[in-house]
């Protein structure tokens, strides 16, 4: 039997399905982690998919022989060809995620690091990362951004008891990790039994993005033309965007633009059919998104009502606020405490189109308050959601768990 090589000091392997050049919340968070580990002197490897978000087509220039291994600014990036399946094909998605997790496991076993870090939303990366760490004598860090194993039941799908097995596996993984990191306090509380080193490191906004959006934050809003409300991000089940379409229909003198992509796109197009003030726009890269923010008077977010979403804090909110635009959020749970406690957004209950339309209309009718709200939001992000500060906290937490790798 061939024994694995001993772990390399100050070496971390990160397991994540999303990494730059993708621009979703997971890719931004994990790309920032990789950069900060590298700056702290760690040898960093990332095992990820070939980029294909959000169109579910491998990006131009990345469709290469798998695995594709490259050095990118001092970080070794191993890209594996994804098995792309329909978002609504649950069984195939689980198989696709499992295949990636097993491929990642093989890479870790070939060259063990001192630290294995696995991140959701792929649920099986957590247990597989724990297995890899225990097989190689490495420390294990689980970065939990979502409780995806609870989603099928929450969506009303029959799970035949598999949900209970998955939940038991994930709770075991959480309490067995050397370090447990979550994006919200509610996610941390979910793991009632957890390791000694456990902390909430929320999503944030990089200094680069803050700087890019600074001119946008100084540009005027509500200057006399038709008001413009914008949503950007995933068109997914969690977001319940049909409520936003209904709110738009109640505000016929306000233009609405929904920018993004996802499994609910066709349903949104059908619901918006005949609504002359609603535009469904494709996914945009950040430079184009800056101009979209500049043209918006209010930015809107919505998370549907469900107990499993009580602990969510949509990452888009912090980028919204970095633009200096006022924000209206429909939702419930801990994010409402943050938004209302700091007076940085208007909030309404989820799934209530009339309440959402009323909040948007009231804010659009009060330019002075809208500008003040936008300014407070940007100040909050600059003070409490700077990604550089948050990642430094994470590196310190992780380093404390692996003193031999300092």
353-384 pLDDT, tens digit per residue, is 999 999 999 999 999 999 999 999 999 999 99
Examine the domain organization and report whether 247 and 197 are in the same domain.
no
Examine the domain organization and report whether 399 and 345 are in the same domain.
no
Please report which confidence band the pLDDT of residue 399 belongs to, taking 50, 70 and 90 as the band edges: confident
Examine the domain organization and report whether 347 and 317 are in the same domain.
yes
Q: In whole angstroms, give the CA distance from residue 120 to residue 326.
A: 30
Examine the domain organization and report whether 56 and 31 are in the same domain.
yes
Q: What is the mean pLDDT of the chain?
A: 92
Examine the domain organization and report whether 397 and 378 are in the same domain.
no
> Could you tell me the strand order of the sheet in which 8-15 lies?
68-72, 75-80, 43-49, 8-15, 113-119, 139-144, 179-182, 197-200
Local structure of residue 386 (DSSP, 8 states) = B
Regarding beta strands 113-119 and 75-80, do their DSSP bridges make them parallel or antiparallel, or are they unpaired? unpaired
Q: In whole angstroms, give the CA distance from residue 242 to residue 272.
A: 9
Does 1 reside within a domain?
A: no
Examine the domain organization and report whether 131 and 196 are in the same domain.
yes
Contact 255, 229 (CB under 8 A): yes
Q: What is the pLDDT of residues 312-346, one digit of tens each?
A: 999 999 999 999 999 999 999 999 999 999 999 99
- Give the pLDDT score at 405: 47
Q: Give the structural domain span for 94.
A: 8-204+386-405
Examine the domain organization and report whether 157 and 293 are in the same domain.
no
Question: Exposed/middle/buried for 68, CB within 10 Å: 0-12, 13-18, 19+?
Answer: middle
Does 3 reside within a domain?
A: no
Q: In whole angstroms, give the CA distance from residue 10 to residue 126.
A: 21
Does 54 reside within a domain?
A: yes
Q: In whole angstroms, give the CA distance from residue 192 to residue 172.
A: 11
> What's the CATH number where 192 sits?
3.40.50.2000
């Amino acid at each position: 039997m061939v024994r694995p090589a001993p772990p390399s000091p100050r070496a971390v392997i990160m397991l994540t399905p999303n990494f730059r050049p993708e621009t979703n919340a997971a890719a931004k968070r994990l790309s920032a982690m990789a950069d900060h580990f590298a700056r702290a002197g760690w040898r960093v490897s990332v095992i990820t998919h070939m980029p294909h978000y959000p169109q579910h087509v491998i990006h131009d220039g990345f469709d290469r022989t798998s695995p594709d291994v490259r050095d990118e600014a001092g970080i070794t990036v191993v890209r594996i060809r994804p098995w792309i399946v329909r978002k609504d094909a649950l069984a195939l998605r689980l198989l696709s995620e499992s295949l990636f997790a097993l491929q990642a496991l093989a890479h870790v076993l070939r060259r063990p690091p001192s630290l294995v870090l696995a991140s959701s939303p792929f649920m099986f990366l957590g247990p597989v990362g724990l297995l890899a760490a225990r097989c190689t004598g490495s420390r294990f860090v689980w970065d939990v951004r979502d409780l995806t194993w609870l989603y099928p039941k929450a969506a009303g799908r029959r799970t035949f008891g598999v949900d209970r097995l998955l939940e038991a596996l994930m709770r075991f993984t959480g309490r067995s990790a050397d370090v447990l990191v979550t994006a919200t306090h509610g996610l941390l509380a979910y793991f009632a039994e957890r390791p000694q080193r456990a902390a909430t490191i929320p999503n944030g906004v990089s200094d680069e993005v803050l700087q890019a959006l600074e001119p946008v934050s100084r540009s005027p809003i509500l200057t006399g033309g038709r008001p413009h409300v914008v949503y950007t991000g995933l068109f997914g089940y969690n977001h319940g965007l049909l409520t936003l379409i209904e709110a738009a229909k109640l505000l016929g003198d306000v233009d609405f633009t929904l920018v993004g992509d996802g499994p609910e796109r066709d349903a949104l197009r059908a619901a918006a059919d005949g609504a002359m003030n609603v535009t469904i726009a494709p996914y945009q890269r950040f430079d184009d998104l800056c101009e979209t923010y500049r043209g918006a008077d209010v930015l809107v977010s919505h998370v549907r009502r469900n107990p499993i979403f009580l602990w969510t804090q949509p990452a888009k909110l912090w980028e919204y606020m970095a633009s200096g635009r006022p924000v209206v959020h429909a939702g419930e749970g801990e994010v409402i405490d943050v938004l209302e406690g700091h007076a940085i957004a208007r909030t309404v209950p989820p799934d209530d189109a009339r309440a959402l339309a009323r909040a948007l209309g009231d804010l659009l009718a009060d330019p002075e308050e809208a500008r003040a709200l936008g300014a407070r939001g940007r100040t909050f992000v600059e003070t409490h959601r700077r990604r550089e500060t948050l990642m430094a906290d994470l590196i310190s937490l992780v380093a404390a768990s692996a003193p031999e790798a300092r």
